[in-house]
Structure 1
Amino acid sequence: MRKEYDFSRAKRGAVIPSPGKTRITIMLDDDLIELFRAKAEAQGMGYQTLINAALRDAVAPKPARKAEDKPLTVAVLRKVLREELHH
């Protein structure tokens, strides 16, 4: 390698685009950034990838609840008990 390089006429190259991604600037709380960085390091991935996954999960459609998945209320419990005790 040379001991000196002349960059006086150098030009910055184009940034290689990532298909399907857009570079933005976003302000996030420091504690959130640190949380995502720590989680990302533990999982061996980038923190921005982890933030992207969390955002995807937040906007993903949730599966529809079935009728039997409804929370049990006092009125429903009383009705079921009456029906069972009647038989």
Structure 2
Amino acid sequence: MLAKVMKPEYDLGKMKNRPNPFASQLKEEVTLKLSDDLINFFQQKAVEKGLSYQEVISLYLQDCMMSNLEIAFN
């Protein structure tokens, strides 16, 4: 297989790393007190999907929001 050589003007090795200035606006860190069985449930789903359990919880809450799901209090 032939290796392609990058043109010198496209050399990304010379670029400086810099943080995304909008990253802090994308998500906010919060602390929630959740029961062990709830955490275990989301951890199991996370393993199945190959994600972190925090991502699975976030996706679930986003789905609830987008579906305008009403909360049922028992």
When the two structures are superposed, what TM-score results if normalisation uses the length of structure 2?
Answer: 0.54
Question: Structure 1: how far apart are the matches of 2:52 and 2:25?
Answer: 18
Shift of 1:24: 1.1
Max radius of gyration: which structure? 1
2:46 aligns to what SS in structure 1? Answer: helix
Counterpart mapping for 1:31-42 below 5 A: 31-42=37-48
Structure number with the bigger relative contact order (C-alpha 8 A, sep ≥ 6) is: 2
Q: Partner residue of 1:49?
A: 55
RMSD (CA atoms) = 1.7
Q: Which runs of 4+ in 1 moved over 6 A?
A: none
- Tell me, which stretches of 5 or more residues in structure 1 are unaligned? 1-16, 63-87
Question: Cα deviation per residue 1:44-85 (whole Å; 9 max; x = unaligned)?
Answer: 1110000000001111146xxxxxxxxxxxxxxxxxxxxxxx
The one-letter code of the counterpart of 1:23 is E
Q: Partner residue of 1:25?
A: 31
Question: Structure 2: how far apart are the matches of 1:61 and 1:42?
Answer: 23
1:23 aligns to what SS in structure 2? Answer: coil
Over the matched positions of the two proteins, sequence identity in percent amounts to 37
Count of residue pairs the alignment pairs up: 46
- Tell me, which stretches of 5 or more residues in structure 2 are unaligned? 1-22, 69-74
